[in-house]
Structure 1
C-alpha cells in the first residue's frame, strides 16, 4: 500500500517512520468501579454456591484441586495486638530513671 520505507541508521535501527505519528498513545486505563461490578457479583454468587455445597455432607466437589479456595474464604485483616497490655511495664520506669539520673549528674559536673 505504501511505497515508503522507514529511515534506518547503519546498524539497522529505525530512526524515522514516514507515516507513523510521533505522539505515543496513552496506554493507561482509567480505574473505574464499573469495570468490577460484574466480577464482584459473580464472585459473591460463587462463594455462596460453594459454601452451600461444602456445608451439605451429601454433595461432593469434583476436581477440587482446580477450585481457588483463596477466593472462597474471605480473609479478614488481623489488627495489631494491644501492645500496652501485652508487656508488663513494672520494672522499666526504674531502669530508665536511674539512667537519666546518672546522665544528669554527668552533665552538671564540669
Structure 2
C-alpha cells in the first residue's frame, strides 16, 4: 500500500470517515430521538408535533427544535413543528445525538464544497 501521498487521497479518506459518521448519525437521530419523542407524545394523547413530513425533512425540524435555543434559529411559533412540545420531551441524550448529527452533516456538506472548489476539474 502506497499510503496517502496526494491531496485528493487525503480528501477522499477524510470524506469517507465523515460519511461513515454522518449517515449513521442521521438514522440514529431519526430512530432513537424522533421516533421515541413521537411515541411518547402519542402515548400522552397529544397530536404529532410535525404533522407534515415533506420529503423526510421532519428529522431536520426536530433537530433544530432540540439543539438550538429558542430564538431566531428556533422560533416557538414555527408553523412546521411544535417546538415547545418537542423540547419538553427531549432528553440530554437527544441533545447529544442532535449535535453529533448536526456537526457531522455540516462537515459532510463542507467536504462537498471543498471538493467542488478545489478538486473538481
The two structures share one fold, judged by TM-score above 0.5: no
Flag the structure with more relative contact order, 1 or 2, with Cα contacts below 8 A and sequence separation at least 6: 2
Normalising by the residue count of structure 1, what TM-score does the alignment of the two structures yield?
0.30
Higher-Rg member (1/2): 1
Instruction: Name whichever structure is richer in helix by fraction.
Output: 2
